[in-house]
Amino acid sequence: MKGIEMLFDKLEALYLAIKEGAASVVQTLLYIFSQMERHGLKSRKKGKPTFQQLIGTLE
């Protein structure tokens, strides 16, 4: 959900990139995905395991 929310925040930038051209679209998408990788993880709550920790314990 957090990643989708981040994508919706960047839709205007993506729209403007589409109007400019293909190279600008690729650059904008790479920026959006790098931001999602960096900040798109589920936030951690005190005393509760994260999704990544749960998956790690199941394997």
pLDDT digits (tens, 9 = 90+) for 19-53: 988 888 888 888 888 887 777 666 666 777 776 67
- pLDDT beyond 80 at 57: no
Q: Taking the model in full, what pTM does it have?
A: 0.56
- pLDDT beyond 60 at 58: no
- List, as one string, the DSSP characters of the chain: -HHHHHHHHTHHHHHHHHHH-HHHHHHHHHHHHHHHHHH-SPPP-TTS--HHHHHHHH-
Separation of alpha carbons 34 and 4, rounded Å? 14
Domain ranges of the chain: 2-58
